[in-house]
Structure 1
Amino acid sequence: MQVTQDTQVTLAVVEPHDLPAFKADMEASFAVAVIEAFGSLPEGSIPSGDELDESMGAPGTELLHILCRDERVGGAVVVIDEATHCNSLDLLFLSPTQHGRGLGFKAWVAMERRYPRTRVWQTHTPYFEKRNIHFYVNKCGFKIVEFFSDRHPDPHSPGPSGLPGGGEMFRFEKIM
């Protein structure tokens, strides 16, 4: 599939019967980044289907397929707060075969269109994920607003993660 300037990326709600494939695609996508950065995939180093199940229970959570020409190329998990319009992009992933083709940015633009009442978007990414940092800051217009480490732990995280690199994370915000 060739991606051109006019290639449209759309979003579709994940249906319950799609969940097993959605989780498997998410895990495969995140595994590639960890292996590229560290050479192997340590236990607990990527979000698991169980963690996704837990996050799906949060109020306002929506799971979305990212589609290119009606073909599933990735997905996203967002939490939409209808009262404050301060929304969270919890997960965004593309199939490893789709990386570097501009689809992630087109998916982000589609999300901004889908949630036009958003005042602030928030997301996180691991410190080692330079490609994600570039994407969020230089492509999508987010600002880094916080850095979590052992000296400044995330107050919303249950504790040390299984992520390589000590679980260090950036928190980003985009004011709309």
Structure 2
Amino acid sequence: MNSMIQLRLLKDYDREQFIRDSQEAFNFGAMEEFGLRDEHFEEEGQIISRETIKQSIEDGEAYRIIREEGKIVGGVVIKVEGEKGDLDLLFVSPDVHSRGIGYAAWCEIEKLHPEVKIWETMTPYFQQRNIHFYVNR
């Protein structure tokens, strides 16, 4: 299953698109849960602010999730210190949800950092898809 994707370090030229793609993915989850009435925005019209994403990228390792055919389908930002890892961001494009891409990306992250014994993450309480993923995968 894991050969379906690869992780590629984020390039400077792709940074702005990474931010937009991340915001789109997080907004999609909020819209699924709350519809247009959502008031949980960090900044106008965005569940996760541009600054939050930029800071995450600057403080961690950012990767693009690429499918076999070369299509960008998501991204991830992690931080690793010894045996502890933090998953800051993991997003998959809404048009490819439920196809095993998030799980395949997670498996690749674990391969990149086998030294990590404890991974931590946070996700919004309304992101039921994320909670299911983190608890059951």
How many residues in Structure 1 have an aligned counterpart in Structure 2?
Answer: 131
Aligned to 1:67: 66
Aligned to 1:171: none
Query: What percentage of aligned pairs have identical amino acids?
Result: 35
How far apart are residue 7 of structure 1 and its match?
5.0
How far apart are residue 55 of structure 1 and its match?
2.5
How far apart are residue 117 of structure 1 and its match?
1.0
Query: 1 CA distance for matches of 2:3 and 2:61?
Result: 24
Q: 1:1-176 counterparts in 2 under 5 A? A: 5=1, 8-40=4-36, 41-42=38-39, 43-44=41-42, 46-58=47-59, 61-69=60-68, 70-81=70-81, 84-139=82-137
Please give the TM-score of this superposition, normalised by the length of structure 2.
0.88
Query: 1 CA distance for matches of 2:91 and 2:58?
Result: 20
Which consecutive unaligned segments of at least 5 residues does structure 2 have? none
Deviations 1:14-34 (A, max 9, x none): 011110110010000000000
Q: CA RMSD in A?
A: 1.5
Please give the TM-score of this superposition, normalised by the length of structure 1.
0.70
Counterpart of 2:48 in 1: which secondary structure? coil
Q: Which structure would you say has the larger RCO, counting Cα contacts within 8 Å and 6 or more residues apart?
A: 2
Q: Which amino acid aligns with 1:88?
A: D
Which consecutive unaligned segments of at least 5 residues does structure 1 have? 140-176
Query: 2 CA distance for matches of 1:56 and 1:72?
Result: 17
- Which is higher, the Rg of structure 1 or of structure 2? 1
